Amino acid sequence: MVDSLSGKKIVIIGASSGIGLAVAKQTAELEASVVISSRSQDKLDRAKEFISGQVEAIAADILNEDSVNALFERVGSFDHLVITAVADENLLRSPLAEMSTAIAQRGMEKFWGTFFAARAAVKTIAQTGSITLTSSVSIFKPSRAGGVSVMSAASAAVAVFGRALAAELAPIRVNVIAPGVVDTGVWSNTDSQRSDLAKWAEESLPVQHLGQAEELAHAVLSVMTNTYITGAILPVDGGLTVM
Ligand SMILES: NC(=O)c1ccc[n+]([C@@H]2O[C@H](COP(=O)([O-])OP(=O)(O)OC[C@H]3O[C@@H](n4cnc5c(N)ncnc54)[C@H](OP(=O)(O)O)[C@@H]3O)[C@@H](O)[C@H]2O)c1
């Protein structure tokens, strides 16, 4: 069975850019009513311009439990939750021996934000609905570039949390997407570094291109709408893990 999204209410945290924004565009096109959220109301209002359909923008900080609780109180009953929020990932890279405790603790933020949002969401999400979390392909294949050990641990925590919730929250379905290298704001560095990444993908990845937010969003929609998928950790990585 594939669940229709028409008339369904979908909350996406991390939707002002990247994968979250692509999920918002695709679900709105399928006639869902979409709530987009991230920290910045300005960014959300700009993102809204790119989404055609029924969309509401509500700012919230996933790392602040009061803010997250207020978001879900305002949303009320809804059907599907997607969490893609993360900030400054590339600024948190550090070799282990030099990693400060502050940076290491920030590296785990992705898990805590996911926890705050999932905990608040279960009060009002439909039993027929779903939760999609975002991990990383680094849980299967550690980055050779290094400096991401704690962030990889946070992504692993998100993935295992998702599988545990699939059992605990059933019949609500819970799945985890594990992106490879995707051309989004997390790589907000210079154009030359970005083109180096694109070149690496063309020459090295089995699919011969860098991941696009739309490709990841398509995977999110698959697990959201397929009523037989729960507890899955889905790598969407262009074949990075088979290289
Ligand atoms: N892109 C990749 O190569 C890649 C690889 C592996 C895993 N991932 C994972 O994919 C997910 C999505 O990343 P992306 O590539 O789409 O990045 P992105 O374009 O940078 O999007 C991140 C989103 O999170 C929001 N955000 C940041 N901090 C937040 C907070 N504290 N509370 C609420 N919203 C917050 C940002 O908006 P505001 O600034 O408005 O808050 C933005 O909408 C992340 O979990 C990332 O770890 C990405």
Query: Which domains are delineated in the chain?
Result: 9-235 (3.40.50.720)
Q: String of b and e for 8-26 (b: at least 16 CB within 10 Å)?
A: bbbbbbbbbbbbbbbbbbb
- pLDDT of 194 above 90: no
E runs forming strands in 27-105:
33-37, 54-57, 78-83
Mean pLDDT value of segment 40-62:
98
> In 3-state terms, what secondary structure has residue 86?
coil
Q: Which residue's CA lies nearest to atom 14 of ligand 1?
A: 18
Pocket perturbation via mutation, ligand 1, pick of 12, 13, 17, 109 by most ligand atoms within 8 A of CB: 17
What predicted TM-score, i.e. pTM, was given to this entire model?
Answer: 0.97
Mean pLDDT value of segment 30-41:
98
Q: Which residue's CA lies nearest to atom 41 of ligand 1?
A: 39
pLDDT at 187: 78
Q: Which of 210, 48, 11, 229 is nearest to 125 (CA)?
A: 11
pLDDT at 189: 62
Mean pLDDT value of segment 191-204:
87
- pLDDT digits 0-9 by tens, 116-153: 999 999 999 999 999 999 999 999 999 887 899 999 99
Give me ligand 1 centre to Cα 88, in Å.
8
Contact 223, 26 (CB under 8 A): no
Averaged confidence pLDDT in the chain:
95
* Residue owning tokens 């992504």: 155
CA distances for 3 relative to 172, 223, 226, 241, angstroms:
13, 10, 6, 30
Give me ligand 1 centre to Cα 186, in Å.
7
**% of residues, the chain, pLDDT over 90:** 89
pLDDT at 188: 63
Q: Which residue's CA lies nearest to atom 47 of ligand 1?
A: 86
pLDDT at 88: 87
Contact 181, 212 (CB under 8 A): no
* Minimum-distance ligand 1 atom for the alpha carbon of 213: 16
